[in-house]
Amino acid sequence: MSRSVNMKLCLGSLLTVAGAVCASVPSLEAPACSVGKGTIQYNKSVPDQADFPKTQVDVCYDDTSIHLVFTAFEETNFYFNGSQTTNDAIWAYEVMEAFIHHGTNDPKTYLEFEVSPNNVTFQAWIYNKSKVRATSAPLDTSFLTQPLADGLTAETTLDKEAQTWVSATKIPLGLFNVDDGQAKGTSWRMNFFRTVVSPDTFPDQLLGAWNPTNESNFHMTPFFGNVKFI
């Protein structure tokens, strides 16, 4: 079964230069926060896999939430649009992002969560029938409009001298129909992203990802990594 899935991905990637999809996607094991955390780091750009500022995500879970701590190293711009607020197009400036799906398949529906250097968040369900953002298929978006009431929170710390930006976030397990206390043993697909842009380079962004997609488009779910809550 898994062989035929891999075969399909490999055949698809024969058409690509990088052939990145042929390799298996990256994996992470993340424990309960009371025990520790799983950590990934990335430094490759999307889609050409050139150098990209080091970015880290620490992952763990508690009874009610997924904890994601995003750390941007080598950050010099801290660029956001101060007139934007919850669920605005903060992704046009600098953000760190997670795309999250509870399950093991390449999803058509997933949560897109983003945080900006001024602690503004974007949270929406994405329905992309094509799984790769084919131009013929609509990418529908359903916003979560009460993030604080839902328990979607961020705490953001900027250190301009150290060139770091840290956003410690929580995302409720219940959004994914995982009941309180039931996260241990669950399997997930996730990818993590960061955009880099300054007032001088806007709107041309540098894009980076845990598992870089093969186009300048994050919405390609065959590239999501495997995450297991242990």
Q: Which residues bind ligand NAG (CB under 6 A)?
A: 9, 12-13, 15-16, 21, 41, 43, 51, 54, 81, 83-84, 119, 132, 148, 153-156, 214-215, 220, 222
Q: Which is nearer to ligand NAG, 1 or 17 (CB)?
A: 17
In the complex, what is the shortest distance from the CB of residue 47 to ligand NAG, in angstroms, rounded to a whole number?
Answer: 8
In the complex, what is the shortest distance from the CB of residue 54 to ligand NAG, in angstroms, rounded to a whole number?
Answer: 6
Q: Which is nearer to ligand NAG, 6 or 13 (CB)?
A: 13
Q: Which is nearer to ligand NAG, 186 or 198 (CB)?
A: 198
Q: Which is nearer to ligand NAG, 48 or 51 (CB)?
A: 51
Annotate the chain with three-state secondary structure. Answer: CHHHHHHHHHHHHHCCCCCHHHCCCCEEEECECCCCCEEEEEEEEECCCCEEEEEEEEEEECCCEEEEEEEECCCCCCCCCCCCCCCCCHHHCCCEEEEEEECCCCCCEEEEEEECCCCCEEEEEEEECCCCCCCCCCEEEEECCCHHHHCCEEEEEEECCCCEEEEEEEEEHHHHCCCCCCCCCCEEEEEEEEEECCCCCCCCCEEEECCCCCCCCCCCHHHCEEEEEC
Q: What does the CA dihedral 195, 94, 59, 29 come to, rounded to 10 degrees?
A: 0
In the complex, what is the shortest distance from the CB of residue 152 to ligand NAG, in angstroms, rounded to a whole number?
Answer: 7
In the complex, what is the shortest distance from the CB of residue 222 to ligand NAG, in angstroms, rounded to a whole number?
Answer: 5
- Give the residue closest to ligand NAG by C-beta: 16
Q: Which is nearer to ligand NAG, 186 or 226 (CB)?
A: 226
In the complex, what is the shortest distance from the CB of residue 198 to ligand NAG, in angstroms, rounded to a whole number?
Answer: 11
Q: Which is nearer to ligand NAG, 37 or 54 (CB)?
A: 54
In the complex, what is the shortest distance from the CB of residue 18 to ligand NAG, in angstroms, rounded to a whole number?
Answer: 7
